[in-house]
Amino acid sequence: MTGPVAVPPLQPSHDVGVTDQEIFGQLYPGLRRFAAVVGAVEVDPDDLVQDAVAHALVGGSLSRFDSPGAYLRQAIVNAASNDRRRAGRRRRALTRLGGGLTEAQPSVYPSDITQLARFSPTIRALIYLRVIDGLAYDEIASILGVSSSSARMTLSRALRSIRSSGLDTPSPKDHHE
């Protein structure tokens, strides 16, 4: 794998009268990839996507959003963050129940992925949106609900941290603004 993979645009152009399912159909491949990176490795990416869509549909149709893709990505990050907090509580409970035993982690993925896993869902989302989707900091900031300068600084620190662990990373400036 040598470079970014084409993903559906964040804000698909859909005609008036397009159904929610059609909107979702356009967004699904990109959302699932995003969820797979943002969520913990033991969480099914489809679960995160499903939770995000269900959350969005509670308030009405997907077509009410200017950018349903951006909204759903934000919802995925929120769901992943909640999962991460819950996992922490669960780990403590399991330790208590198991008399010191802890839930073993499935060793499905190579260690370079675990390096990413130590970052919060928000930071993983930031890395993905910048490095893979190639979004500008303004767009990333609006999706993640942070300021543009904060997104830039956080990504810079994260990439530096990844680089210090021996993984080759692109420069944040490798991508267009």
Partner 1 sequence: MNELVDVLDRLAVRGTPRGVDSVFDAAVRASGQTPPTGSLPDVAAGPASSSIEIVEVSERSTSPSRRRTMFASAAALVAVAAALATIIVIRSPEQHTSQPLDASAPGTSLPTSPDSPPLVGVPALSSSIIGSKPTASAAAFGSVVAAVLSARDASTPDLRETATRTTDQGQSVSYAYFAETDRRLFVLSGGPDLIASVPGLPDQLDPGPHVTTGVVLVWPEESWRRTVALSTVNSVTIISSEAVNQTGAARSVGDLVDLAIKVSSPDSTVLDAFAAATPGAANCSPPSPIIGNEFRGTSGNGQLSGLIFATKSSMHIGDDIKLVVRMTGFGPLTITATAPDGTSMTLPPTPHSGSSFDRPGDEWDTGITYQQAGCWQIHFERSDRSADVWFQVAS
Cβ nearer to partner 1, comparing 27 with 141 = 27
> What distance in Å separates the CA atoms of residue 164 and residue 161, rounded to the nearest whole number?
5
In this structure, which long-range contacts are made by residues 96-102, counting pairs with CB atoms below 8 Å and at least 24 apart in sequence?
none
Planar angle of CA 149, 29, 143, nearest 5 degrees: 20
User: How many Å apart are CA 43 and CA 64, to the nearest integer?
Assistant: 29
Burial of 121 (0-12, 13-18, 19+ CB in 10 A): buried
CA distance 30 to 11: 11
Please state the closest distance from residue 133 (CB atom) to partner 1, in A: 10
User: One-letter amino acid identity for 97?
Assistant: L
Instruction: Determine contact, residues 149/107, Cβ cutoff 8 Å.
Output: no
Among 86, 118, 157, 160, binds partner 1 (CB under 8 A): 86
Residue 3 sits in the site that holds partner 1 (CB under 8 A): yes
156 binds partner 1 (CB under 8 A): no
Closest distance to partner 1 from the beta carbon of 58 (Å)? 5
Nearest-approach distance from CB 88 to partner 1, in angstroms: 11
| Cβ-based nearer residue to partner 1, 5 or 147 | 5
Question: In this chain, which stretch among 8-16, 100-108, 135-143, 149-157 interacts with partner 1, using CB under 8 A?
Answer: 100-108
Q: Interface with partner 1 by CB under 8 A: which range of 8-16, 112-120, 138-146, 148-156? A: 112-120
# residues contacting partner 1 (CB under 8 A): 63
105 binds partner 1 (CB under 8 A): yes
Only one residue has tokens 């839930």, namely 103
For 90, the enclosing helix (H) or strand (E) is helix 68-97
Binding site for partner 1 (CB under 8 A): 1-5, 20-21, 24-25, 28, 32-34, 36-37, 41-47, 49-51, 53-58, 83, 86-87, 90, 93-94, 96-99, 101-106, 108-109, 112-113, 115-116, 127-128, 131-132, 159, 162, 167-170
